[in-house]
């Protein structure tokens, strides 16, 4: 049986954006999505020969995309090794419970190991208990002592 996980292709950009919007709706963050197909395509599949800013894998069921994981590589100075940062993981609600989320996460863990990464990290909303329980069941450790900080919008552009 072939894996339900495959690398995203340029033709998947509309599907990826649809899944991003579905994730935002689930997370009650719909108003924060300003992504569009053009920017997403440029980030994942740049036409100018530059390296992609991020990568994406798709979970298919019967040939139809029903989930995705979007990730990028970062760097740990403490480990002096790269890391894999999972930006988003989402499976459409009607396809949950089939192991697709686990397949996506384990696909990325395997990739992280192949790339010599010292760790794989992601954030989860504190109210999303199903996701927290899922990650814990896979052996993930919550880093409660770390707080996310963000500069965005005007706070970021004032330093341009």
Looking at the annotation, which residues are catalytic?
135
> Is-contact 88 70, C-beta < 8 A?
yes
Collapsed DSSP state (helix, strand, coil) of residue 68: strand
Residue 38: other Cβ atoms inside 10 A: 9
Which are the contacts of 28, defined by CB distance < 8 A and separation ≥ 6?
none
């Amino acid at each position: 049986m072939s894996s339900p996980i495959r690398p995203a292709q340029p033709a998947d950009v509309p599907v990826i954006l649809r899944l991003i919007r579905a994730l935002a709706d689930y997370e009650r963050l719909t108003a924060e999505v300003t992504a569009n197909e053009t920017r997403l395509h440029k980030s994942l599949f740049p036409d100018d020969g530059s390296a992609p800013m991020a990568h994406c894998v798709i979970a298919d069921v019967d040939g139809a995309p029903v989930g995705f994981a979007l990730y990028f590589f970062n760097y740990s100075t403490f480990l002096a090794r790269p890391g894999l940062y999972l930006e988003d993981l989402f499976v459409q609600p009607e396809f949950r419970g089939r192991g697709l989320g686990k397949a996506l996460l384990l696909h990325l863990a395997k990739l992280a190991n192949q790339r010599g990464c010292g760790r794989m990290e992601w954030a989860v909303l504190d109210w999303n208990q199903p996701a927290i329980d899922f990650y814990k069941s896979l052996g993930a450790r919550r880093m409660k002592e770390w707080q996310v900080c963000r500069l965005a919008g005007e706070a970021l552009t004032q330093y341009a």
